[in-house]
Structure 1
Amino acid sequence: MHTNMQKQAPLLQNEQKRICLTFDDGPDLQYTPKILDILDAYGVRSSFFCIGSQVTKFPHVLRRMVRDGHIVANHSWSHPYLTKESASSVRMQLEQTSDIIEEIVGLRPRLFRPPYGDIDDTVSAQVHSLGYDIVLWDVDSVDWSGISGPNILANVLPPLQADSILLHHCAGNVRGTVDALPYLIEVAHAMGYEFVTVDALMGNSAYQLEQR
């Protein structure tokens, strides 16, 4: 499930089929660099929804994401269920994360993914009032559960369609994603898909234009 987007009209024969790889919960030192290496090898640009507390630990990995041409976005400070948080806590989760990202790479994210996809009308209104666009997904790899590469591919490839946003993770027990990613990219390319960043798919800026 993803918001702020509408499905496009049926594709004509020669139209591009665009999809987005997204990675949550990083950066880390175990799997994020391996994923960045694979993306670089295939010339694929992706979108990383980063946790603020992780960014403070591994700022050099965040810098590499930007240097390699990827989008860095906001995934909260400590990955809570936002619908259980107060309004002030929701604001802190978003703004503290964007503050540290901006401090490190000079870019303030405009795109936000709620942890667990946990969102309701109240939280959504708060998020939008702070100037963020919410990005969810429609294809879930379920890689966070520690499943193998073949199982990840079985979750991702059958439901793939134009304008899909794929949910993966770049931290945690996600060895399966590292194993599956090269094959996923190759098969998607063979199926005629082009990988783009989320902002390109949405037709909107990935960053807030007015830096604070």
Structure 2
Amino acid sequence: MKTDQLLTRRRALIAGAVAVGAAGTAGVLAAGQGEGPVRPAAPGPGAQAHRPLKPSAYRLQPLTGHGAPRTGPGRTPVRREPLLRLTGRGRVMVLTFDDGPDPRYTPDILDTLAKYEVRAMFFVCGEMTVGNQDLLARMADEGHEVGNHTWSHPLLTRLTRRRIRSEMERTSDVIEEGWGERPRWFRAPYGAWNRAAFQVGAELGMEPLAWTVDTLDWTTPGTGTIVERVDDGAGPGVVVLSHDAGGNRSQSVRALRSYLPQLLDAGYHITVPRRWHA
């Protein structure tokens, strides 16, 4: 299954997945992650608004202080909920893109990220990497983090543990082949997590990452609406969810060109999580 077919599957499954995903993320918010995105503080009287920092001050610097240490050599802790935001010093944010890579849209997103010298996270579907290994190699060359979004974008809560492992393991294998390393992060399709997914992910050495701000760009709400959602939700530790595949993503491409320089000019550090071995 490729490209636009993912959108058809998404619409067929989204109703049940939303309920499951909401239940999972609510637990994290109740545990002290905050009730919503943190808005940037307004500049005080006489302050210079949107004063840019030097590139070395915030670009290409890995985010630190997230999560918990491994429980032992080569082991990742099993979580009960996905991480919704990442902690670190300063006004840090993470941009993530799901469902790709797609040769129609992913290169444009990579071009924009390269223009502003920032790194992002790409949660890729294994079947989408077939024939697009060059895009994974480019992500590696340009310092982006690649995460596991399963092989065929299924609803994990309807799969056996064996099928979940197959979906994740096959994708980790193809990521290692094209990106050069096995992924350290995974994201459940539709945000539908369950115990088996957390356990299998940990067994494969991956942490579960959800998001703080959902642009809902897959509904094609308009470029301006996507930009507004990112701007309104911007704040320290925020993880933004967008897509670079699964349908027509031209609005997502145009929106990134607009909101990325705005975030940088406002002093946000657009970065990626530090890898375990770094």
What TM bracket, shorter-length normalisation? 0.7 to 0.9
Larger Rg: 2
Is 1:190 matched up with 2:190?
A: no
The residue that corresponds to 1:55 in the other structure is 129
User: Does structure 2 conserve the Cα–Cα contact (< 8 Å) formed by 1:18 and 1:162?
Assistant: yes
Is 1:143 matched up with 2:217?
A: yes
Name the % identity: 36
The residue correspondences of 1:103-142 to structure 2 (distance < 5 A) are: 103-142=177-216
Shift of 1:166: 0.4
The separation in 1 between residues aligned to 2:262 and 2:268, in whole angstroms, is 9
Shift of 1:101: 1.3
Shift of 1:4: 3.8
User: Does structure 2 conserve the Cα–Cα contact (< 8 Å) formed by 1:148 and 1:175?
Assistant: no
The residue that corresponds to 2:226 in the other structure is 152
Quick one: which of 229, 233, 254 aligns to 1:179?
254
User: Does structure 1 conserve the Cα–Cα contact (< 8 Å) formed by 2:186 and 2:209?
Assistant: yes
The residue that corresponds to 1:37 in the other structure is 111
What's the TM-score, normalizing by structure 1?
Answer: 0.86
The residue that corresponds to 1:163 in the other structure is 237
Structure 2: give runs of 5+ residues left out of the alignment: 1-24, 29-81
The number of residues matched between the two structures is 198
What one-letter code is carried by the residue in structure 2 that aligns with 1:170? D
The farther-off stretch of 179-188 and 120-129 is 120-129
Q: C-alpha offsets along residues 60-113 of structure 1, whole Å, 9 cap, x if unaligned?
A: 111111111111111100000101100000000100001111122321111101
User: Does structure 1 conserve the Cα–Cα contact (< 8 Å) formed by 2:139 and 2:179?
Assistant: no
1:115–1:5 Cα change, 3 Å:
closer
Is 1:85 matched up with 2:162?
A: no
The separation in 1 between residues aligned to 2:249 and 2:219, in whole angstroms, is 8
Structure 1: give runs of 5+ residues left out of the alignment: 10-14
User: Does structure 2 conserve the Cα–Cα contact (< 8 Å) formed by 1:143 and 1:169?
Assistant: yes
SS in 2 for 1:21: strand
Q: RMSD of the TM alignment (CA)?
A: 2.0
User: Does structure 2 conserve the Cα–Cα contact (< 8 Å) formed by 1:139 and 1:159?
Assistant: yes
Shift of 1:6: 6.9
